[in-house]
């Protein structure tokens, strides 16, 4: 097969494929965010211009002034639908977007500019290529928006934010990349990184990092355009799924600019790993975490030890569900770190210690209540007093008061308080 035949073959194949054509570009004039947009209010649901069955189907569309059109009034500009609505990336007013036409349907695709947060948007960019004035459309388009109370005045200095009704430009730094990375990063500092080599040794260790917000310290320290890397201790809510050589430099609590943590509790009876590295791990780190099982069980399995370490108070409120605790080894409950007390309340319920399920002693098979030490000491003291005051009647007459070994009874009486525990009390 010669070169001419090969060229002809590929040309025939290419001509049989859908052709997008060279994309045009345009400036975003307006973004249809919800049903309050005037294009939604005015759309004809039967209009073929929008290819829609419902008015709200054009939500997510944008009104665009193509760079090739510097004469049409705003009311004459067409709407474009997102090229991939399943992965929507909305542009801002004043951003340049790519425009496509497939068949008779018009699509747009946003491409980010140098600045992640604002893209390539600039204030009132559309006016620089618009050579005509449509006063009626201008009045309608830039009227006060009732839903937000924000004015969309065409004069940029009358607008609170020139690239949207409420969008404020923020500094967001791009992530540093590693070879082979797949990264999804929004204009707000959220990111998802799929990486295999983002570790010190750059060894193959698949890792996913989901981050909700870039931390304030890095924003204040870095310049616009500087690269940043996720900081699991300082960024907003973070989820990390890591493996092998990816090291989680995790610290509990809030970390200040100097790297110190406000978490003060040091585990005494729980041995933490020296390094969080060398195996598959999942970290969820945030200022507040809520786990909720709405209708079924919440189950935790751990092959090794598990612990709850907190700077605050450990509380479990199980309502009226009760609790079943089954331990196969010794149970140690300590409160001696600060010489604290241990309270056990049952109201009018009973406390059964080392008994069967009916409260009976395993030895005597009887219900053996616990003695009240103070009451016992008081009764024994009175009993000794009574013994030392005994008088016996004899044929020769009454005896002297008390036994001959009264001193021994008094000595025993003086030691009765030893029955009382120094640290354990009951009702």
User: In three state form, how does the secondary structure of 95-111 look?
Assistant: CEEEEEEECCEEEEEEC
Ranges of beta strands (E only) in 139-224 are 182-185, 191-195, 207-211
- Spatial contact of 265 and 311, defined as CB atoms under 8 Å apart: yes
What pTM was computed for the model?
A: 0.74
Instruction: Sort 219 into a burial class: Cβ within 10 Å, 0-12 / 13-18 / 19+.
Output: middle
Distance between CA 81 and CA 58 in Å, rounded?
Answer: 7
Distance between CA 216 and CA 191 in Å, rounded?
Answer: 16
Ranges of beta strands (E only) in 178-297 are 182-185, 191-195, 207-211, 238-242, 281-285
Distance between CA 73 and CA 90 in Å, rounded?
Answer: 23
CA atoms within 13 A on the CB side of 236: 12
Strands 79-82, 62-66: pairing is: antiparallel
Distance between CA 68 and CA 131 in Å, rounded?
Answer: 12
Q: Which two three-digit tokens encode residue 15?
A: 């001509």
Per-residue confidence (pLDDT) for residue 403, from 0 to 100: 86
Distance between CA 216 and CA 171 in Å, rounded?
Answer: 10
Q: Which two three-digit tokens encode residue 4?
A: 């001419």
Place of tokens 């931390």: 215
Residue positions counted in the chain: 427
For residue 187, give Cα distances in angstroms to 89, 122, 167.
10, 15, 11
| CA-based nearest residue to 39, from 73, 78, 86, 93 | 78
Per-residue confidence (pLDDT) for residue 126, from 0 to 100: 64
- Starting at the earlier edge strand, list the strands of the sheet with 191-195: 182-185, 191-195, 207-211, 238-242, 281-285
Per-residue confidence (pLDDT) for residue 181, from 0 to 100: 94
Q: From the centroid of its chain, how far is CA 5?
A: 60
Distance between CA 237 and CA 288 in Å, rounded?
Answer: 9
CA atoms within 13 A on the CB side of 378: 5
- Spatial contact of 115 and 167, defined as CB atoms under 8 Å apart: no
Per-residue confidence (pLDDT) for residue 50, from 0 to 100: 42
Enumerate the β-bridge partners of residue 139.
none
Q: Which two three-digit tokens encode residue 177?
A: 């990349």
In tens digits, the chain (427 residues) has pLDDT values of 454 544 444 344 334 334 445 679 999 999 998 888 888 877 655 454 444 445 668 889 999 999 988 889 988 999 999 999 888 899 999 999 999 999 999 999 998 777 889 988 887 776 666 665 444 444 444 333 333 333 333 333 444 567 888 899 999 999 999 999 999 999 999 999 999 999 999 999 999 999 999 999 999 999 988 999 999 999 999 999 999 999 999 999 999 988 899 999 888 888 889 999 999 999 999 999 999 999 999 999 999 899 999 999 999 998 888 899 999 899 998 888 889 998 888 888 888 888 888 888 888 888 888 888 999 999 999 999 999 888 888 888 788 888 888 899 899 999 999 998 888 888 7
């Amino acid at each position: 097969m010669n070169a001419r035949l090969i060229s002809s073959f590929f040309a025939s194949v290419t001509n049989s494929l859908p052709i997008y054509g060279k994309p045009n570009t345009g400036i975003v004039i307006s973004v249809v965010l919800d049903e309050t947009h005037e294009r939604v209010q005015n759309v004809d649901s039967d209009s073929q211009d929008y290819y829609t069955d419902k008015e709200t189907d054009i939500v997510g569309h944008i009104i665009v002034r193509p760079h090739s059109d510097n004469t049409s009034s705003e009311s004459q500009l067409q709407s474009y639908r997102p090229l991939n609505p399943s992965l929507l990336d909305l542009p801002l007013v004043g951003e340049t977007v790519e425009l496509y036409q497939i068949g008779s349907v018009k699509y747009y695709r946003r491409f980010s500019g140098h600045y992640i947060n604002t893209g390539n948007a600039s204030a009132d960019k559309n006016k620089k290529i618009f050579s005509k004035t449509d006063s009626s459309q201008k009045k309608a388009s830039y009227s006060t928006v009732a839903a937000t109370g924000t004015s969309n005045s065409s004069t940029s200095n009358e607008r609170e934010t020139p690239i949207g009704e409420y969008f404020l430009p923020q500094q967001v730094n791009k992530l540093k990349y590693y070879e082979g990375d797949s990264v999804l990063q929004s204009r707000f500092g959220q990111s998802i990184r799929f990486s295999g080599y983002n570790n010190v040794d750059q060894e193959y260790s698949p890792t996913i990092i989901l981050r909700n917000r870039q931390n304030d310290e890095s924003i204040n320290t870095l310049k616009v355009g500087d690269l940043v890397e996720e900081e699991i201790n300082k960024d907003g809510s973070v989820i990390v799924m890591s493996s092998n050589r990816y090291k989680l430099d995790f610290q509990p609590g809030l970390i200040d600019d100097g790297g110190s943590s406000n978490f003060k509790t040091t585990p005494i009876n729980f041995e933490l790993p020296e390094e969080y590295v060398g195996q598959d791990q999942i970290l969820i780190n945030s200022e507040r975490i809520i786990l909720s099982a709405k209708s079924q069980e919440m189950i935790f399995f751990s092959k090794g030890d598990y612990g709850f370490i907190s700077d605050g108070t450990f509380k479990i409120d199980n309502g009226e569900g009760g609790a079943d605790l089954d331990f196969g080894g010794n149970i140690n409950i300590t409160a001696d770190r600060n010489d604290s007390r241990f309270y056990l309340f049952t109201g009018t319920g009973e406390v059964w210690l080392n008994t069967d399920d009916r409260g009976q002693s395993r030895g005597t098979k009887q219900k053996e209540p616990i003695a009240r030490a103070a009451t016992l000491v008081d009764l024994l003291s009175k009993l000794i007093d009574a013994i030392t005051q005994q008088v016996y009647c004899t044929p020769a007459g009454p005896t002297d008061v008390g036994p001959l070994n009264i001193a021994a009874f008094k000595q025993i009486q003086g030691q009765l308080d030893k029955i009382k525990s120094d640290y354990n009390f009951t009702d």
